[in-house]
Amino acid sequence: MSALDLIVIGGGPGGYVAAIRAAQLGMKVLVVDAFRGKRNGGLALGGTCLNVGCIPSKALLDSSHHFHRLLHGFGEHGIQADNARIDPKRMIARKDGIVAQLNAGIAQLFKAHRIETLHGRAKLHGDRRVRIALHDGGQTELSAPHVILAAGSVPVELPFAPFDGELILDNAGILDLEEVPRRLGVIGAGVIGLEMGSVWRRLGAEVVILEALPELLPALDRDMARLAEREFRKQGLDIRLGCRVEAVEKEASGLCIRYQHGDRKETLECDRLLVAVGRKPASAGLLGEDSGVRVDARGFVEVDAHCFTGVDGVWAIGDLVRGPMLAHKASEEGIAVAERIAGLPGHVELDQIPWVIYTDPEIAWVGLTEKQAAERGIPTRSGSFPFAASGRALAIGETAGAVKLIAHEKTDRLLGMQIIGPQASELIHEAVLTMAFHGSSEDLARICHAHPTLAEAIHEAALAVDRRAIHKAR
Ligand code: FAD
Ligand code: NAD
């Protein structure tokens, strides 16, 4: 191997994107990744996101959405689809095919950029020496002027409910169920709980979600969170808030979950359990004592605003460091670090990272909520518009939800947006763009939006900030 300019530890959306950008800038790059692909245990570039996260979960969300609409959504269009059935094995095979296609796509991109790879587990030592335990046996040690740590995150395990890959499942296990469980228990009504709970509910499972917090979706303003909660309950997701799970027992018929609900002790019987109570940085075993890299009390690698660890030539990005655990955040940090290494001014604005939950309706937000702004003493005005009043939403039969927009009371600068509704994942970028260009609600209100589109709801919400929405009575 010729002299390396950069070693990247981790081939997820942080690491692989950093590697490609660095190669574009003329660097000789090596990526070390430990993930074992589902098909043959070989190198499967793309990390959590591609192998057991973003992409496979969205593939299943889409399949289950089609099935659910076929059963319940097409009648009013005059479309009859009697005897619709789901073949979960085929659905999972489709999902695996998409993942494999994208794994191969990254490998192809690496080849085109002459990026080297090693399949194994890496540990960083002093002077940027990287020791690698190769999966096919043997060890090697390499060094480079720069190292990017991009080892990502792993699911948090509850001590009384260790993952067994069969009955008690993590994010990887729940993506591989080949039959619809009769009753699926879920611990945690966060992003994974809601997305994967939706998948199996749409396919016919009874889904009960136990959540510790007293409220659902604390990242949203209450009025918006309640809108989403109402829709989930209509779909039959049995979400129980304020529940403290105390024990999970294996029985002949499945699992028995014991939990405290207010002042009552309750139990839940289920035949599969998804534990989705958050993720933690994968820093265990990543750093030798002589690496000099600092880790905080929760295991996050400490970095400054530019992902620099403070150790000469060592950077860290993605789920391994502070900020939202999102693929696009990891990728943007990867690009910014590669550019900084090359002497360019790379930067990521953490306050402008959009979030999306791919349920039905979709939930998306960016920036501050009204509540967060109030907590920071920022005076605001808000405007909202329901999809029920949108001609396009009515035409596609997806009228649940609303757009809410928050602007600074004095300057009118756009501070944040929350969208619950169809295509929220795409629409939110109108807010991201406006915020990136320091735009105002008046800017959005003065931009001509095509008719009939879902984006008109954003236009109307912007007009509503000034109490002049057209299709909504004051
Ligand atoms: P990762 O993707 O975790 O990649 C890290 C890689 O490093 C892995 O391949 C790992 O095996 C490897 N590695 C770890 N330690 C070592 C080591 N010591 N040596 C060598 N290799 C190592 N985010 C979104 O933005 N949108 C979504 O829709 C979305 N959906 C998700 C759904 C699920 C079910 C899950 C679990 C997550 C989802 N996420 C989503 C989050 C997203 O997957 C992560 O934020 C993203 O993958 C983080 O990227 P990363 O590159 O930091 O780490
Ligand atoms: P999460 O942080 O989104 O939600 C975890 C939930 O579990 C929280 O509501 C928390 O209050 C609850 N909880 C924690 N301990 C509990 C306990 N003992 N009993 C009951 N409830 C408990 O975490 P997640 O759903 O595991 O997802 C992890 C991360 O992965 C997300 O935060 C996100 O960063 C990423 N992700 C993103 C997407 C997306 O972008 N669409 C999808 C999936 C995952």
Residues 378 and 434 in one domain: yes
Per the structure, the count of domains in the chain is 3
pLDDT computed for residue 53 by the predictor: 98
36 with 128, same domain? yes
- Shared domain for 128 and 243, answered yes or no, is no
180 and 62, same domain (yes or no):
no
Print the SS3 string covering the chain.
Answer: CCCCCEEEECCCCCHHHHHHHHHHCCCCEEEEECCECCCCCCECCCHHHHHHCHHHHHHHHHHHHHHHHHHHCCHHHCCCCCCCCCCHHHHHHHHHHHHHHHHHHHHHHHHHCCCEEEEEEEEEEHHHEEEEEECCCCEEEEECCEEEECCCEEECCECCECCCCCCEECHHHHCCCCCCCCEEEEECCCHHHHHHHHHHHHCCCEEEEECCCCCCCCCCCHHHHHHHHHHHHHCCCEEECCEEEEEEEEECCEEEEEEEECCEEEEEEECEEEECCCEEECCCCCECCCCCCCECCCCCECCCCCCECCCCCEEECHHHCCCCCCHHHHHHHHHHHHHHHCCCCCCCCHHHCCEEECCCCEEEEEECCHHHHHHCCCCEEEEEEEHHHCHHHHHHCCCCCEEEEEEECCCCEEEEEEEEECCHHHHHHHHHHHHHCCCEHHHHHHCCCCCCCCCHHHHHHHHHHCCCCCCCCC
Instruction: Decide if 330 is inside a domain.
Output: yes
The catalytic residues are 451
pLDDT for 1: 64
Identify whether 356 is part of a domain: no
For ligand 1, is residue 282 a contact (CB within 6 Å)?
yes
Residue after which a domain boundary falls, among 302, 317, 351:
351
Ligand nearest to the CA of 328: 1
Pocket of ligand 2, beta carbon within 6 A: 158, 187-193, 195, 210-213, 245, 276-279, 324-326, 356-358
Structural domain contains residue 1: no
Asked, for residue 310, whether it belongs to a domain, the answer is yes
2: left (phi over 0), alpha (psi -120 to 50) or beta: beta
The range of the structural domain enclosing residue 441 comes to: 361-465
Nearest ligand by distance to the CA of 46: 1
Tell whether 244 is covered by a domain: yes
Q: Is 150 in the pocket of ligand 1 (CB under 6 A)?
A: yes
pLDDT of residue 473: 86
Q: What is the CATH classification number for the domain harbouring 242? A: 3.50.50.60
Q: Say whether both 151 and 285 belong to one domain.
A: yes
Per-residue pLDDT of the chain (474 residues; tens, 9 = 90+): 679 999 999 999 999 999 999 999 999 999 999 999 998 899 999 999 999 999 999 999 999 999 999 999 999 999 998 889 999 999 999 999 999 999 999 999 999 999 999 999 999 999 999 999 999 999 999 999 999 999 999 999 999 999 999 999 999 999 999 999 999 999 999 999 999 999 999 999 999 999 999 999 999 999 999 999 999 999 999 999 999 999 999 999 899 999 999 999 999 999 999 999 999 999 999 999 999 999 999 999 999 999 999 999 999 999 999 999 999 999 999 999 999 999 999 999 999 999 999 999 999 999 999 999 999 999 999 999 999 999 999 999 999 999 999 999 999 999 999 999 999 999 999 999 999 999 999 999 999 999 999 999 999 999 999 999 999 987
Supply the pLDDT for residue 81.
87
In a domain, 161, yes or no: no
| 293 and 272, same domain (yes or no) | no
- CA dist 135 and 13 (Å) reads 21
Residue 47 Cα to ligand 1 midpoint, Å, equals 5
CA of 30 from ligand 2 middle (Å) equals 32
- Rounded Cα–Cα distance for residues 380 and 404 (Å): 12
**Smallest-distance ligand from the CA of 58:** 1
301 and 320 co-located in one domain: yes
Q: Are residues 316 and 413 in the same domain?
A: no
Mutate to test the pocket of ligand 1, among 49, 194, 300 (most ligand atoms within 8 A of CB): 49
Residues 291 and 379 in one domain: no
Report the CATH number that the domain containing residue 442 is assigned in CATH.
3.30.390.30
Residue 472 lies in a domain: no
Do 287 and 402 lie in one domain? The reply is no
Instruction: Identify whether residues 13 and 130 lie together within a single domain.
Output: yes
Domain boundary among 326, 351, 376: 351
User: Does any domain span residue 117?
Assistant: yes
Closest residue to atom 30 of ligand 1, CA basis: 54
Residues 12 and 144 in one domain: yes
Domain boundary among 248, 277, 306: 277
**Ligand 1 within 6 A of CB of 287:** no
